[in-house]
Chain A
C-alpha cells in the first residue's frame, strides 16, 4: 500500500508540490518568527549581560509607575548622597554612580538628529574609575572633561565625526555644540542594536539631563569573598526605602525580561498571521485532496475489488498527506530561516544591527514548526480520506463514477448556517461581554472568526451559482477594462509574434461572451470546489478589508477630532516619530518669540499613578483657550488657561467612572513617588476621534516641577495672517536650533500624524499577502486539477473551433469568477467585522474606505487573472488529438 502511495505522489508531482506550498509558507512564518524573536531576545540578553557583568549590587530608583505604551517601568532618580552611603558600606570595595537618559541625541553635520530606525538615543555619564565596572573602551581621543562629549563608534561613523570636532548635542534645550574629546566602543563589537550613545562627565551629564544632585543608578563591586546577594542584603538595610537593590545578574535578567515582554508581544502578533496562513493553507489542502480523491474514485474502487480494506484506503491517503506534510514542513522550516535572515539584513540596512553571528535556532522552533505543519496537513486530509473510504468496489466498473454523498449530507445547509451563527455569537460575545481578560477576548474573537469563515465557506457552496452569476458581468467588464489598459502592450506583443510568423490572433479587448458563459457554467459544476477556493481568498481579503476599515475609521475620526479641537493654524511636532524623544520645551519658548504668534500652547505627556493604576497624564501651558476648542460639561476653554498649580480637567467618561464633580479632589503619583493633590476644574466631552488630553490634564508648571525629562508631544500655534510662506519661514528659523522639531501647517500636521499609521499598515498588509498568496495557489491547483478532468471536453471544444486564446480566456474567466466570489464574500465579511470592531473601539467611529475597497475588488480580478496564467497555458497547449482520446 505504501509503495502504491509513493508511486502516486511521484506521478502527481505538480499537484503534490502545489499542495505543499500551501503549508510551506505558513510553516516558514512560524519558524521565521521564532528565529527572529529568539535572536533579538538573545541579542538584548547578551547586551544586558555585558552592561552588568562586573556589577555585584545595582541601585536604582524605586519605580512605581509603568509606561502603558511600552510596559516599561519608569525609574525615578534619587539623591546623589546615596552614593556616599554605598561607598561607606563595609562590604563595598568600590562603587560608581551615574545618570542616564533616553532623550539625548547626537546631531549630524547635516543638522539632523542621528536616529537608527526606532532605536533609542541614549545619554550617559561616564566614569571609568572602577575597571570592573567599565563596559566601554576608548578607540581614539580622551575621556570627556567638563563640557566635552564622547560618542560611540557607530554614531561617529554615521555622523562623519572625528576627535576634536564640535558635535551638536540635543537634550531638553536648544542644540549645544560640544567638543568631541573621544570615540569609544561599547563591549567587544559596539553591538547596541542601533542605539546612539553620547557620554559626558558626571557633572556635565547632570546639568544636561536636568538631574543636578541626583543619580539614576549606582553600581557597586563587593569586597573579595562577599557574594553579590550578601552585598545587596547589607546595602538594603543601610539605604533609604526610595531605592531598589538588585544583584548585577538580577538587574540584567530584569532588563531582559522587560524587553522580552515586548518581543513576545511581537512574537504572538506574527504567529497569529502564521496561523491565518496555515488556516488558509488547510482550505487549499482540503480542496486539493477532495478533488484528487474524487478523480481517483475508480482507482480506490479497483483497490477495493482487489481486496484492500477501507482502513487501507484511509491509510494510503493519510500517508500521502503525512509525506507531503513532512516535506512541506521541513521546506517551510528552512524557508523560515531564510525569511528571518532576510529580515535581519533589512534591520541592518535600517541601522538596527544585531550582534555578529547572532542566529538563534531553539529546539522549540524546529519541533513546533514541524509539528504544526504536519498536523495541519493531516487534519486537513481527514475528511477527504474518509470520503475515499466510502467508495464502493462497484465504482470500479462505472463510467465517470462520483463519490457517494456523506452520511451527514442532508444536515449540511443547516449545519453550516449553524456554524456561521455560532461564530457570530462568539464574535459578539468577545466584543461586547464585560469582564473578559484580554486573552479571553482574543480567543473568542479568533474562534468566532474561524467558525464564521468555515460556516460561510460551507454556506456559499450551496449558493455558488447565484453568486457566480452575479459576479460574472463584473468580471467581464473588469477584465475588458484591464485589457484596454494593457492593450498597447498586447498590440506590441502581437506585432512581434506576427513578425515571427506565428499566426497570432489579433488582441481584441471585447469580452468573448461564449467563452465567458462557458466559464460561468464551469464554475457552477462543482460548487464545493469553487466555494472552497473562493473561501481561501475570502479569508485574506476579509482581513485586508478589516484593516482598511480600521485604518479609515481611525484616520477619519482623527481628522474629525483635529477639526473639532484645534482652532490654530500651525503645529510644532517632533521630526522623527520613531525616536522616543519629544520636542524640547525650549523649542516652544523659541517659537513663542516669533513675531506674529498670537497664541501658543504646548502639550506634554507622561505616566503617573491615577487611582492606583499607571495612566497617561497630560500637561498644558500657554494660552490653550486660543488654540483649543472642546465641548464642556463643566468649565470652558478659559479653565485650561487658568489651571494654576493644582487645577485639572478630566474627560466626562473618566469623571463619571470616578464620580468627579467640580472641585473634586484627584491625586496623581509621579514616577518619583511625589503625590500631586489636584482639584477638578473642568469636565469635557472629547469628540469621537479623541482629544489631545488623556484622563488627567494639569498645568505644565506642575508637570515640569514633578516629572523627569519633560518634553512636548506637540505645540499648537495661532499666527496672524494664518498659513503663509512668511510665517512658515519665520517658524523654521526659530526652530533651527532644535533639529528634532518641525513647524507644520494644519494640513501637514494632520498628514504627518496619520502617516504614523503607515508603517504598521504596511506590516499588516504584507503579512496578509502571504495568506492571499496561498489562496492564489489554491485557485491554481483547483484549475489545474479541473483541467485534467475536462481534458476531453477541451479537446472537443478545440476541435469544433475554439482557438488557444479562447481556451485561455475561458479558464481565465473561471478563475476571475472564483476570485471575485472570494472578493465579494471577503469584502462583505471584512466590512461586517470592521463595523463591529469599530463600534467597540473608543474614540473611533466608522468610515468606509471606498478607494481601498475598490482596490480590493481590482486585486481580486488581478488575482484571478494571475492564478489562471499557468492553468490556462496548460489547457491551451493541450494537443487536440490527445485530449480527445484522454480518458
Chain B
C-alpha cells in the first residue's frame, strides 16, 4: 500500500487528532452496494463498500466524478437506501427504517452542510440556526447558541437574512445550524464547492475547529484537495470502491493520489 511522506510540513489549520488512539465508531457501513437502473443499463455506483466513521474525527471522502462518493455519503446519512448492505448510526440500523423513524433519527443524530447552503431565505440567520431545534420542538440553550455563533463568527449578523449575506457567511450560518443539535455525525457535501478559495479555506478551518473544540464527528465529501489538510483521514473512491486511505495527509499527497486514480 501507500507509503507516507513523513517530511511534509504541516499547514496552519490543525491540531489533528492522534490517529493512534482508536476512537469508537459512530457510523458503521457494511458491504454497501448501490445499483442504479435495471437490467443491461444498470450501473453499480457502490460495490461492496464497508467503513467505520470514528467519533470525533473529520473523515474526508474524495474521488473523481462518478466514483460514488456522493452516493456513499447519501447512504451513510440515510438520504438514500443501498441495494444491499447495512448502515448503523449510533447503533441503529437505518437501511430498513421507515421514513418517519428515519427522519427522526436524522433530526437527532445527523447534521448536514450543503454546497448551496440551503438556508431559508425568509428567516434571519438566527432563525435559520435554531430551525432544527424548533422542528424537533426543543428549547434553545442560550449559552450553546452564543458559543456556537461566536465560534462561527456571526455574532454581528444574527438578524440578517440570507440575501444580505455573502456566500461564506451563509455557509457559516449553515454550519452553525448543523451543529446546534450536537449531531452524532455531521455530513458535509462539497461545503466549499460554491465558494472562492479563500472563503473555502475559512470554512474548512471552521469545520476543523468544530472537531477540535466540540469533539464533532464530520464526514465530508469534497473535490477540494486542501480538505486533506484538515481531515484526520481521507478515503479515496473509484468505481464504487474505496481504493485508498490516507491519514494526516497533505494537499500534495492528495493531488498525487487523485492523479494516480485518474490514470488507472
Asked if A and B bind, the verdict is yes
Chain A interfacial positions (CB closer than 8 Å to B): 501-505, 512-515, 517-518, 521-522, 524-525, 792-793, 795-806, 880-881, 884
| Nearest-Cβ distance from residue A804 to partner chain B, whole angstroms | 6
B134 interface residue, CB < 8 Å from A? yes
State which of A792, A801, A881 has its C-beta within 8 Å of the C-beta of B135: A801
Contact A805 B131 (CB under 8 A): no
| Nearest-Cβ distance from residue A885 to partner chain B, whole angstroms | 9
Chain B interfacial positions (CB closer than 8 Å to A): 74, 77, 79-80, 97-101, 103-104, 106-108, 110-112, 114, 116, 118, 120-123, 131-132, 134-137, 177-178
Contact A800 B112 (CB under 8 A): yes
19 residue pairs A–B, Cβ–Cβ below 8 Å = A501-B98, A502-B98, A503-B100, A503-B101, A513-B137, A515-B135, A517-B134, A796-B118, A800-B112, A801-B103, A802-B107, A802-B135, A803-B100, A803-B104, A804-B100, A806-B135, A880-B79, A881-B74, A881-B80
**Cβ of A798: which chain B residues have Cβ within 8 Å of it?**
103
**Cβ of A796: which chain B residues have Cβ within 8 Å of it?**
112, 114, 118
The 3 tightest CB contacts between A and B, nearest first, are A801-B107, A503-B98, A514-B134
- Distance between Cα atoms of A159 and B104 in the complex (Å): 70
State which of A501, A504, A521, A801 has its C-beta within 8 Å of the C-beta of B122: A521
- Distance between Cα atoms of A800 and B106 in the complex (Å): 6
- Distance between Cα atoms of A639 and B114 in the complex (Å): 92
- Distance between Cα atoms of A109 and B121 in the complex (Å): 76
- Distance between Cα atoms of A266 and B2 in the complex (Å): 91
Contact A801 B136 (CB under 8 A): yes
- Distance between Cα atoms of A521 and B134 in the complex (Å): 14
16 additional contacts (CB under 8 A) given A513-B137, A796-B112, A805-B100: A501-B98, A503-B97, A503-B99, A503-B100, A503-B101, A505-B100, A796-B114, A799-B106, A800-B112, A801-B106, A801-B110, A803-B104, A804-B99, A804-B103, A806-B135, A881-B80
**Cβ of A795: which chain B residues have Cβ within 8 Å of it?**
118
Closest to A804 in B: B99
Given contacts A796-B114, A800-B106, contact A518 B98 (CB under 8 A): no
- Distance between Cα atoms of A783 and B123 in the complex (Å): 20
Contact A800 B134 (CB under 8 A): no
**Cβ of A801: which chain B residues have Cβ within 8 Å of it?**
103-104, 106-108, 110, 132, 135-136
**Cβ of B118: which chain A residues have Cβ within 8 Å of it?**
792-793, 795-796, 884
- Distance between Cα atoms of A803 and B106 in the complex (Å): 10
**Cβ of A793: which chain B residues have Cβ within 8 Å of it?**
118, 120
**Cβ of B132: which chain A residues have Cβ within 8 Å of it?**
800-801
- Distance between Cα atoms of A793 and B106 in the complex (Å): 16
| Nearest-Cβ distance from residue B117 to partner chain A, whole angstroms | 9
Contact A802 B100 (CB under 8 A): no
Contact A518 B120 (CB under 8 A): yes
**Cβ of A514: which chain B residues have Cβ within 8 Å of it?**
131, 134-135, 137
- Distance between Cα atoms of A802 and B106 in the complex (Å): 9
| Nearest-Cβ distance from residue A608 to partner chain B, whole angstroms | 70
- Distance between Cα atoms of A817 and B16 in the complex (Å): 51
A-B contacts, CB under 8 A, total: 77
Contact A521 B97 (CB under 8 A): no
| Nearest-Cβ distance from residue B68 to partner chain A, whole angstroms | 14
**Cβ of A792: which chain B residues have Cβ within 8 Å of it?**
116, 118
State which of B79, B108, B121 has its C-beta within 8 Å of the C-beta of A799: B79
- Distance between Cα atoms of A513 and B107 in the complex (Å): 17
**Cβ of B97: which chain A residues have Cβ within 8 Å of it?**
503
**Cβ of A513: which chain B residues have Cβ within 8 Å of it?**
134, 137
**Cβ of B178: which chain A residues have Cβ within 8 Å of it?**
800
| Nearest-Cβ distance from residue B186 to partner chain A, whole angstroms | 11
Closest to A399 in B: B116
**Cβ of A517: which chain B residues have Cβ within 8 Å of it?**
134
| Nearest-Cβ distance from residue A522 to partner chain B, whole angstroms | 7
Contact B122 A525 (CB under 8 A): yes
- Distance between Cα atoms of A502 and B136 in the complex (Å): 21
**Cβ of A524: which chain B residues have Cβ within 8 Å of it?**
122
| Nearest-Cβ distance from residue A803 to partner chain B, whole angstroms | 5
- Distance between Cα atoms of A559 and B123 in the complex (Å): 55
**Cβ of B104: which chain A residues have Cβ within 8 Å of it?**
801, 803
**Cβ of A800: which chain B residues have Cβ within 8 Å of it?**
106-107, 111-112, 131-132, 135, 177-178
**Cβ of A501: which chain B residues have Cβ within 8 Å of it?**
98
**Max chain A Cβ within 10 angstroms of own Cβ: one of B103, B112, B134, B178:** B103
- Distance between Cα atoms of A585 and B122 in the complex (Å): 75
Contact A884 B135 (CB under 8 A): no
**Cβ of A881: which chain B residues have Cβ within 8 Å of it?**
74, 79-80
| Nearest-Cβ distance from residue A509 to partner chain B, whole angstroms | 14
**Max chain B Cβ within 10 angstroms of own Cβ: one of A799, A801, A804, A881:** A801
| Nearest-Cβ distance from residue A515 to partner chain B, whole angstroms | 8
| Nearest-Cβ distance from residue A227 to partner chain B, whole angstroms | 84
**Cβ of A525: which chain B residues have Cβ within 8 Å of it?**
121-122
Closest to B101 in A: A503
| Nearest-Cβ distance from residue B33 to partner chain A, whole angstroms | 17
**Cβ of B100: which chain A residues have Cβ within 8 Å of it?**
503-505, 803-805
- Distance between Cα atoms of A805 and B104 in the complex (Å): 12
**Cβ of A503: which chain B residues have Cβ within 8 Å of it?**
97-101
- Distance between Cα atoms of A176 and B112 in the complex (Å): 91
- Distance between Cα atoms of A767 and B137 in the complex (Å): 45
State which of B79, B106, B131 has its C-beta within 8 Å of the C-beta of A884: B79
| Nearest-Cβ distance from residue B3 to partner chain A, whole angstroms | 38
- Distance between Cα atoms of A285 and B13 in the complex (Å): 57
Closest to A517 in B: B134
**Cβ of A799: which chain B residues have Cβ within 8 Å of it?**
77, 79, 106, 112
**Cβ of B111: which chain A residues have Cβ within 8 Å of it?**
800
| Nearest-Cβ distance from residue B111 to partner chain A, whole angstroms | 7
- Distance between Cα atoms of A501 and B74 in the complex (Å): 25
- Distance between Cα atoms of A517 and B124 in the complex (Å): 13
**Cβ of A802: which chain B residues have Cβ within 8 Å of it?**
103, 107, 135
**Cβ of B106: which chain A residues have Cβ within 8 Å of it?**
799-801
Closest to B121 in A: A525
**Cβ of B131: which chain A residues have Cβ within 8 Å of it?**
514, 800
- Distance between Cα atoms of A501 and B97 in the complex (Å): 11
- Distance between Cα atoms of A793 and B131 in the complex (Å): 13
| Nearest-Cβ distance from residue B227 to partner chain A, whole angstroms | 21
**Cβ of B107: which chain A residues have Cβ within 8 Å of it?**
800-802
- Distance between Cα atoms of A797 and B132 in the complex (Å): 9
| Nearest-Cβ distance from residue A176 to partner chain B, whole angstroms | 77
- Distance between Cα atoms of A116 and B197 in the complex (Å): 86
**Cβ of A805: which chain B residues have Cβ within 8 Å of it?**
100
| Nearest-Cβ distance from residue B148 to partner chain A, whole angstroms | 16
| Nearest-Cβ distance from residue A143 to partner chain B, whole angstroms | 82
**Cβ of B116: which chain A residues have Cβ within 8 Å of it?**
792
- Distance between Cα atoms of A798 and B118 in the complex (Å): 12
Closest to A506 in B: B100
| Nearest-Cβ distance from residue A801 to partner chain B, whole angstroms | 3
| Nearest-Cβ distance from residue A743 to partner chain B, whole angstroms | 64
- Distance between Cα atoms of A518 and B127 in the complex (Å): 10
Closest to A876 in B: B99
- Distance between Cα atoms of A670 and B109 in the complex (Å): 92
**Cβ of B108: which chain A residues have Cβ within 8 Å of it?**
801
| Nearest-Cβ distance from residue A469 to partner chain B, whole angstroms | 13
**Max chain B Cβ within 10 angstroms of own Cβ: one of A502, A796, A797:** A796
- Distance between Cα atoms of A524 and B120 in the complex (Å): 13
- Distance between Cα atoms of A798 and B114 in the complex (Å): 13
Closest to A501 in B: B98
Contact B137 A521 (CB under 8 A): no
| Nearest-Cβ distance from residue B220 to partner chain A, whole angstroms | 16
- Distance between Cα atoms of A505 and B98 in the complex (Å): 11
**Cβ of A522: which chain B residues have Cβ within 8 Å of it?**
122
**Cβ of B77: which chain A residues have Cβ within 8 Å of it?**
799
- Distance between Cα atoms of A503 and B123 in the complex (Å): 32
| Nearest-Cβ distance from residue B123 to partner chain A, whole angstroms | 6
Closest to B98 in A: A503
**Cβ of A504: which chain B residues have Cβ within 8 Å of it?**
100
| Nearest-Cβ distance from residue B118 to partner chain A, whole angstroms | 4
- Distance between Cα atoms of A518 and B80 in the complex (Å): 26
